[in-house]
Amino acid sequence: MAESQKIKELISSERIAARITELGAEIAADYSGKELVLVGVLKGSFLFMADLARAIPGHDVLIDFLGLASYGDASNSSGVVQITADLTKPIAGKHVLIVEDIVDTGLTMEYLLENLRTRHPASVRLCSLLHKPERAVKQVQIDYLGFTVPDLFVVGYGLDYAQRYRNLPFIGVLE
């Protein structure tokens, strides 16, 4: 309990659920009749992926994950990104939708989009739960966006601080 008192709620679990229902409907309509590969970026996207996948019921969906490590200090990504765990299947000819927790500077997603495009998917788009536009260094196109957040360090609903707080059901700010 002591730990959760340090977190100020920014986006409630109800707002997250409602927005994901809308995103799921939009994605299902856009990919109607097409098989879709959802690619979750570990670890931050694990809850978003679980809820988003269930918001696209009845759709032909494959689920895969990859792990990325971006180098830099705690609050600044350097743009040097390493794939720490790769996809389990090739994506050539597939419609790929990246499922990410947050786009901050945009450096990580710029790297990943470029990397996945070299594998010749039929298409590749980005779905991010959060976007911090004030911190953008690279302008990456977010095709499906949950929420825009201010320039604050957010945790919860998959997002961590030193590997903690991922299990909070809401998005909050560390005080």
Of 18 and 137, CB closest to ligand 5GP:
137
By CB under 6 A, which span of 6-14, 25-33, 86-94, 96-104 interacts with ligand 5GP?
A: 96-104
107 belongs to the binding site for ligand 5GP (CB under 6 A)? yes
* 65 half-sphere exposure, CB direction, 13 A CA radius: 15
By CB under 6 A, which span of 29-37, 51-59, 88-96, 105-113 interacts with ligand 5GP?
A: 105-113
Of 52 and 155, CB closest to ligand 5GP:
155
13: phi then psi, degrees, rounded to nearest 5: -65, -30
Using only C-alpha atoms, the chain has a radius of gyration, in whole angstroms, of: 16
Beta partners for residue 154, in sequence order: 173
- Alpha-carbon distance of 119 to 66, in angstroms, equals 14
CB of 140 to ligand 5GP, least distance (A): 8
Active site residue 104: yes
State the CB neighbour count (10 A cutoff) for residue 101: 26
State the CB neighbour count (10 A cutoff) for residue 168: 20
Kindly list the residues in this chain that would bind ligand 5GP in the complex (CB under 6 A): 44, 70, 77, 101-108, 153-155, 159-161
Catalytic residues: 104
